[in-house]
Amino acid sequence: MKVTSTIIPDVLIIEPKVFGDERGFFFESFNQQAFQQATGFGVQFVQDNHSRSARGVLRGLHYQIGQVQGKLVRVVSGAVFDVAVDLRKSSSTYGRWVGVELSESNRRQLWIPPGFAHGFLTLSDSAEFLYKTSDYYSSQFERCIAWNDPTLSIEWPLEGSSPQLSIKDQAGSLLTESQVFDGTI
């Protein structure tokens, strides 16, 4: 596996070693020992999630203030623009974001550590998105930051159209009004 740091060093792009020929391909999408050795993070994942979204659907920016989740995300069909926002006030990259295209063809994964908000925009006609989490989902701790927060100025590749948002995502808070992580996570 190849691991590449992003402009926020704790957010990592992970590219598996793919074995393929005219018959198809094979790769390990996750191996606990290899992940820990390559990243230095001894994360235990407790939940796998799978979503499907149509073109132009934007999900996020989601995080949990309690039962804080790290996420290992990937796309198995289609393509998305995936975004992580640092919400750790003690971090030198607080309030900064990183965006990466994840697709079935590039097979990239993104490691988003605890303390980050996460969201994605579907770029293809549809996309199937898989992610592992380091803690369980809890609606009481779930929070959402507005996808278009002017403080963040995320450069979503919208191609002139407005994204499709859930009611929850339409009600996202501004970063300046949101609960964030003050201490060590």
Q: Which of 32-38's residues contact partners 24+ apart within 8 Å by CB, and which partners? A: 34/1, 35/1, 35/72, 38/1, 38/3, 38/14
Asked whether the predicted pLDDT for residue 159 surpasses 90, the reply is no
User: Is 118 marked active-site?
Assistant: no
Asked whether the predicted pLDDT for residue 185 surpasses 80, the reply is no
Alpha-helical (H) ranges within 50-181 are 167-170
Q: How far is CA 89 from the centre of its chain?
A: 19
Residue 161's pLDDT band, with cuts at 50, 70 and 90, is confident
* Residue in 62, 94, 136, 137 annotated catalytic: 62
33 Cβ neighbours under 8 A, 6+ residues apart:
none
Confirm whether pTM is higher than 0.85: yes
Candidates 51, 110, 103, 56; CA nearest to 80 is 103
Asked whether the predicted pLDDT for residue 184 surpasses 80, the reply is no
User: Is 131 marked active-site?
Assistant: yes
* Residue in 50, 118, 131, 136 annotated catalytic: 131
Residue 112's pLDDT band, with cuts at 50, 70 and 90, is very high
Summarize pLDDT for 20-41 with one digit per residue, the tens: 899 998 988 898 999 999 898 8
160 exposure class (CB count in 10 Å sphere: 0-12, 13-18, 19+): exposed
Residue 88 has a pLDDT of 97
Residue 129's pLDDT band, with cuts at 50, 70 and 90, is very high
Alpha-helical (H) ranges within 78-177 are 167-170
Q: How far is CA 164 from CA 69, 85, 97, in A?
A: 25, 20, 21
Residues forming a β-bridge with 58? 121
Q: Which two tokens mark 117?
A: 């908000």
Asked whether the predicted pLDDT for residue 145 surpasses 80, the reply is yes
Asked whether the predicted pLDDT for residue 16 surpasses 80, the reply is yes
Asked whether the predicted pLDDT for residue 183 surpasses 90, the reply is no
Q: Is the dihedral of CA 24, 132, 32, 113 positive or negative?
A: positive
Other CB atoms within a 10 A radius of the CB of residue 23 amount to: 6
Lowest mean pLDDT among 16-25, 82-91, 113-122: 16-25
Q: How far is CA 95 from CA 26, 37, 52, in A?
A: 38, 29, 28
Domains of the chain from N-terminus onward: 2-17+41-177 (2.60.120.10)
